[in-house]
């Protein structure tokens, strides 16, 4: 039995490679895709998504929905530029046309409609902020019944997050920080939440060794695509900086296809929405339970995604 997956992403390099990998999983039925312009600009992220589905979707029939959501704390502009570089890759532009259409509704309505018309329950895969889900829940809370669970790249229970911004203490992860209220809204729902948090994504940095392994196998068009995408962003070399790239969203997506790559534990938690720690997820007895992915078999993860890329 294939799992129904609705994918909402925010157009960064690992969001777009996640879309590519999701389309290669034989145990997944992708029911919808939408794009929120958080860690990207909307136009290139939409175009890149449609071109990836055209090129690597094995003929799947989908329309991509654009979000009209806005966040509270914007991403740095140079990170948001990455989608322009992916969209322009010759590998995605060979045909000279874009076939996959735009959906005729904004992402949060598209999500509601897709959940309603899909038989059975759907797993939500979110690799950007939760704004579209929060808005969908406000409009129609009954969609909760149609949601199997939410798998989200977001949050951390470590002291150190990955936000380095003025007027912030650095304890938040970016996808929560962009729209903390949205995360709090989803926490207030009854939806089961799996958090692929920095605890595990910190274990899968982009390294020169990883890049080299893809370069070596670039005769496979899908592995070449991974290599081209991860040529755009800075690897971990001597030490972690604010711009060092990890495979945050790709790990989250790999969890969908192969959950035994990781270890999980349940934590009661809340989301801080105000002040210098806004966007921080805090473990506390009074919070709601979330399943936190805190460990990953790194080698098995890289083997899995490279094998998926060879299925093109
Ligand atoms: O916090 C991780 C999230 C993931 O969904 N994003 C990038 C991934 O798509 C924000 C982010 C944190 N650090 C970054 C980010 C960096 N150095 N470059 C680009 N984006
Ligand atoms: Ca992302």
195 three-class SS: strand
Two structure tokens written together for 287: 């919070």
Handedness of CA 131, 135, 141, 142 (dihedral sign): negative
User: What mean pLDDT is predicted for residues 162-191?
Assistant: 98
Nearest CA residue ID for atom 10, ligand 1: 174
User: What pLDDT sits at residue 50?
Assistant: 98
CA 271 to ligand 1 centroid distance, Å: 19
Best mutation site among 7, 10, 11, 12 for ligand 1 pocket (most ligand atoms within 8 Å of CB)? 12
6 three-class SS: strand
Residue 271 and residue 281 in contact, taking contact as beta carbons nearer than 8 Å: yes
Best mutation site among 14, 39, 197 for ligand 1 pocket (most ligand atoms within 8 Å of CB)? 39
Beta bridge partners of 123: 5, 149
CA 259 to ligand 2 centroid distance, Å: 19
CA 199 to ligand 2 centroid distance, Å: 16
User: What pLDDT sits at residue 207?
Assistant: 97
User: What mean pLDDT is predicted for residues 285-300?
Assistant: 98
> Quick check: 79 pLDDT over 90?
yes
User: What pLDDT sits at residue 176?
Assistant: 98
> Quick check: 98 pLDDT over 90?
yes
Residue environment code for 5-33, b if the CB has 16+ CB neighbours within 10 A, otherwise e: bbbbbbbbbbbbbbbbbbbbbeebebbbb
Residue 97 and residue 50 in contact, taking contact as beta carbons nearer than 8 Å: no
User: What pLDDT sits at residue 182?
Assistant: 98
| Ligand 1 atom closest to residue 252's alpha carbon, by position in its atom list | 5
| Ligand 1 atom closest to residue 173's alpha carbon, by position in its atom list | 1
User: What mean pLDDT is predicted for residues 95-104?
Assistant: 98
> Quick check: 1 pLDDT over 90?
no
Q: Above pLDDT 90, what percent of the chain?
A: 99
Q: How far apart are CA 254 and CA 260, in angstroms?
A: 10
CA 94 to ligand 1 centroid distance, Å: 29
Q: Which residues line ligand 1 (CB under 6 A)?
A: 12, 14-15, 39, 79, 127-128, 153, 162, 173-175, 243-245, 248-249
> Quick check: 167 pLDDT over 90?
yes
Beta-strand relationship, 262-271 and 281-283 = antiparallel
Nearest CA residue ID for atom 17, ligand 1: 243
User: What mean pLDDT is predicted for residues 278-294?
Assistant: 98
Beta bridge partners of 196: 153, 293
> Quick check: 29 pLDDT over 90?
yes
């Amino acid at each position: 039995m294939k799992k129904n997956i609705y994918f909402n992403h925010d157009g960064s390099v690992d969001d777009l490679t996640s879309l590519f990998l999701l389309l290669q999983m034989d145990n997944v039925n992708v029911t919808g895709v939408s794009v929120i312009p958080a860690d990207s600009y909307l136009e290139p992220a939409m175009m890149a998504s449609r071109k990836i589905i055209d090129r690597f979707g094995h003929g799947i029939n989908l329309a991509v929905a654009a979000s009209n959501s806005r966040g509270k704390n914007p991403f740095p502009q140079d990170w948001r530029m990455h989608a322009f570089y992916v969209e322009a890759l010759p590998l995605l532009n060979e045909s000279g046309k874009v076939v996959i259409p735009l959906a005729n509704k904004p992402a949060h309505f598209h999500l509601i409609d897709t959940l309603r018309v899909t038989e059975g329950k759907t797993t939500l895969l979110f690799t950007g902020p939760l704004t579209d889900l929060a808005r969908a829940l406000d409009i129609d809370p009954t969609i909760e019944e149609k949601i199997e669970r939410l798998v989200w790249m977001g949050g951390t229970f470590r002291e150190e997050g990955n936000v380095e911004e003025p007027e912030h203490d650095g304890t938040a992860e970016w996808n929560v920080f962009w729209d903390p209220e949205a995360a709090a809204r989803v926490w207030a729902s009854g939806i089961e939440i799996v958090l692929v948090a920095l605890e595990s994504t910190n274990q899968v940095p982009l390294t020169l060794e990883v890049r080299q392994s893809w370069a070596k196998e670039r005769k496979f068009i899908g592995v070449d695509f991974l290599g081209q995408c991860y040529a755009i962003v800075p690897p971990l070399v001597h030490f972690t900086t604010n711009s060092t790239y990890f495979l945050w969203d790709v790990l989250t997506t790999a969890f969908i296809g192969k959950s035994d790559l990781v270890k999980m534990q349940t934590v009661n938690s809340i989301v801080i929405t105000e002040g210098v720690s806004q966007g921080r997820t805090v473990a506390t007895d009074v919070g709601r339970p979330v399943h936190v992915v805190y460990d990953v078999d790194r080698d098995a993860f890289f083997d899995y995604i490279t094998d998926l890329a060879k299925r093109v």
